[in-house]
């Protein structure tokens, strides 16, 4: 399940929402403030591109929502690198950390969507901060209704049916 953060004529960039790693934020980030705030939450595998890079997505309290950001999904924004990390724990009530990202060259994602290689769905803030990432694909398809609800309910191995 990929959340597209940027999509322009130059290309696209996103993060995979349902791949937690065994690495915790405390182990991965040098920022003691963030490590203490997020605790033992997993770093998520954002994608295969530049796995050493870090992208953070925060769900901001209404009074602290940045005016600009890579995504604008309610009060959810990408945490910009120049953010005052000491103030961040007082400004967000949800934070997810991703190592790496998924990327597409100019026109590549558009072609893949046109070829129906992706199922395009609206994201909800709860999708980003799910506590059950293994069920995210199922949950998102199920709320689409119709045929997507049937796809969501297919067993992982239909031969066992």
Residue 62's closest CA among 72, 70, 74? 74
Mean pLDDT in residue range 89-117: 92
27 inside domain: yes
Tell me the two tokens of residue 51.
């796995």
Mind listing the pLDDT tens digit for each residue in 67-83?
Answer: 876 677 889 999 988 88
CA 91 to chain centre: 19
28 inside domain: yes
In whole angstroms, what is the distance from residue 66 CA to residue 87 CA? 13
13 inside domain: yes
11 inside domain: yes
Q: What is the domain-level CATH number for residue 113?
A: 3.40.1740.10
Write down the pLDDT at residue 84. Answer: 86
What share of the chain has pLDDT > 90, as a percent? 47
Determine contact, residues 16/135, Cβ cutoff 8 Å. no
47 inside domain: yes
54 inside domain: yes
Q: Name the domain count of the chain.
A: 1
Write down the pLDDT at residue 155. Answer: 72
77: domain range?
Answer: 2-121
Give 73's DSSP letter. B
Classify the phi-psi angles of 113: left when phi > 0, otherwise alpha if psi is within -120 to 50, otherwise beta.
Answer: alpha
Mean pLDDT in residue range 38-46: 88
In sign, the C-alpha dihedral spanning 67, 75, 99, 38 is positive
Determine contact, residues 72/107, Cβ cutoff 8 Å. no
Task: Return all residues near 91 (Cβ < 8 A) that are at least 6 apart.
Answer: 58, 60, 61, 64
61 inside domain: yes
């Amino acid at each position: 399940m990929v959340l597209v953060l940027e999509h322009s004529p130059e290309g696209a960039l996103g993060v995979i929402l349902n791949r937690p790693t065994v690495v915790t934020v405390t182990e991965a980030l040098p920022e003691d403030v963030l490590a203490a705030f997020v605790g033992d939450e997993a770093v998520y595998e954002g994608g295969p591109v530049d796995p050493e890079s870090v992208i953070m997505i925060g769900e901001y309290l209404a009074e602290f929502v940045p005016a600009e950001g890579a995504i604008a999904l309610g009060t959810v924004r990408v945490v910009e690198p120049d953010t005052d990390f000491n103030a961040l724990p007082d400004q967000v009530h949800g934070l997810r950390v991703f190592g790496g990202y998924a990327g597409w060259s100019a026109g590549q994602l558009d072609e893949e969507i046109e070829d129906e290689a992706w199922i395009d769905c609206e994201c909800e803030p709860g999708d980003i901060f799910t506590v059950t990432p293994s069920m995210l694909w199922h949950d998102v398809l199920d709320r689409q209704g119709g045929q997507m609800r049937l796809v969501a309910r297919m067993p992982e191995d239909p031969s066992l049916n």
